[in-house]
Amino acid sequence: MGLSVAFFGTPAFAVPTLDALHRSTHRVAVVVTQPDRPRARGQRVTPSPVKAYAEAHGLPVLQPTRLRDDDVMGALAATGAEIGVVAAYGKILPQRLLDWPSRGLINVHASLLPRWRGAAPIHRAVIAGDAITGVTIMRVVAALDAGPMIDRVETPIGPDETSEALETRLATLGAELLVKTVDRLALGPVEETPQDDALATYASRVERRESQVDWMRPAAAIHNQIRGLQPWPLAAVLFHGRRVLLRQSQVAHTRAVDVEPGVVSRVEPDAIEIAARPGAVRILRLQIEGRPAVDTRAFLNGHPVRVGDRFDPLPDAR
């Protein structure tokens, strides 16, 4: 027998989980998402991806500004939901809400907890150079991502995989695991494993200042920064005074010997090799800010790059 579910989510990462629940034997009684706000380059007020999905499939939507308000709690209680499912909702849930559903709330978290608790677990895993990540289904408690774990799935992170591509994969894996977990909970209590707080790491929000590339760092660390800051804010440098966003890279197999960090050590038809300390980074795709992203071959056709040219750090972190 299926459960009646209150779903809490906002960004694109949450949509596969909502879709999987909607197609399952369980009933989505209400979808709670953040209020419409300005998004993307044009800053037009638009609904969240979760709201767009819910409206397209005829699911009831709530967009409260304060979850603890009496009218919000009354509206949730009226749905008859037995369990809450959270997938990147974007706000801390108050204790009053945690105490509401008869079967509590569970969360789809994009890391192998207790590693990378917090707002940006996917980006932080890639930036740190982690080889493995996954999704954890956990019980929601008042402390940040600290609840007991119900189930999890692991997956390798490719050496050149971006945080954007990894997020897409984890969203699908998380959706599948979540429905299996709700299926189990519908049959009765399941084993829940406490987290080891001593092993916890914190995944802080990504900030624009992290775009700054420091060529004095090792090539592998810079490569991880480039692939981990996608789709925003993107690693950035200056080339001939213009801000250039680095969209795709690899660690060079050859060492840039006696080349100053930040200087072009090699130009290939499809790659620009820039010296780091140690090693070098091959840039495969890049973008002059305000223009479309292009592969390096296309970039070189319009912007000649020569050995000895510099890709300078940004003058500040704004």
Angle at 228 between CA 119 and CA 213, to 5 degrees: 115
pLDDT tens track for 141-193: 999 999 999 999 999 999 999 999 999 999 999 999 999 999 999 999 999 99
Residues of the chain above pLDDT 90, percent: 93
pLDDT at site 37: 84
Per-residue pLDDT at 317 exceeds 90? no
258 pLDDT tier (thresholds 50, 70, 90): confident
pLDDT at site 235: 98
pLDDT tens track for 60-119: 999 999 999 999 999 999 999 999 999 999 999 999 999 999 999 999 999 999 999 999
Per-residue pLDDT at 54 exceeds 50? yes
State the chain's mean pLDDT as an integer.
95
Per-residue pLDDT at 318 exceeds 60? no
Mean pLDDT of the 21-46 span: 88
pTM score, whole prediction: 0.95
Q: Where in the chain is the domain with CATH 3.40.50.170?
A: 4-203
Which residues face 108 on adjacent strands? 137
Q: Is 142 left (phi over 0), alpha (psi -120 to 50) or beta?
A: alpha
pLDDT tens track for 215-234: 999 999 999 999 999 999 99
Top-tier CATH class for 208-302: alpha beta
Mean pLDDT of the 259-273 span: 96
Q: Where in the chain is the domain with CATH 3.10.25.10?
A: 208-302
**Of the candidates 239, 241, 226, 235, which has an alpha carbon nearest to the alpha carbon of residue 317?**
235
Per-residue pLDDT at 288 exceeds 60? yes
Question: CA-CA distance, 12 to 171, in Å (whole number)?
Answer: 9
CATH 3.40.50.170 fits 4-203, yes or no: yes
Per-residue pLDDT at 4 exceeds 60? yes
Greater confidence (107 vs 318) lies with 107
Question: CA-CA distance, 195 to 198, in Å (whole number)?
Answer: 9
